[in-house]
Amino acid sequence: MFDFEKLEVYTKAKTFNLHIQKFLQAGTLDNTTRNQLRRACLSIPLNIAEGSGRKTKADKRNFFVIARGSVFECVAICDLLKDEGALKSEDYQSFYSLAEELSKMLYAMIQKLES
């Protein structure tokens, strides 16, 4: 088992990714928006995995910062989609709650690596 597979934040990032992927499979979005959300969502667990494999605190921190930035990007895309009527408010709230939890977990990991 790889170290990242033991991380709760990685498991939650996978769950978030699955929820977003199910939404994307509905096929109601244009290709550009769908691809952007898919890439941002995939970036979260991938950067957590890559960061966990780095040796230095600075390298680990950098990947976790990128993962957190991707969480923000997903929230912004979902917010825009909600405003456009392409995402139901209840789905947005569900995605938002998961993203907020991921953001807090990543922030704690980043802070720990700064000391």
- Within a domain: residue 50? yes
Any idea what the CATH number is for the domain that residue 48 is in? 1.20.1440.60
Q: How confident is the model at residue 100 (pLDDT cuts 50, 70, 90)?
A: very high
Comparing C-alpha atoms, which of 36, 55, 39, 44 is closest to residue 16?
44
Give the chain's mean pLDDT. 96
Q: Containing domain of residue 50, as a range?
A: 14-114
- What pTM was estimated for this model as a whole? 0.94
Average of pLDDT values for 13-20? 97
- Within a domain: residue 100? yes
What gap in Å lies between CA 49 and CA 13, rounded to an integer? 10
pLDDT digits (tens, 9 = 90+) for 51-84: 999 999 999 999 999 999 999 999 999 999 999 9
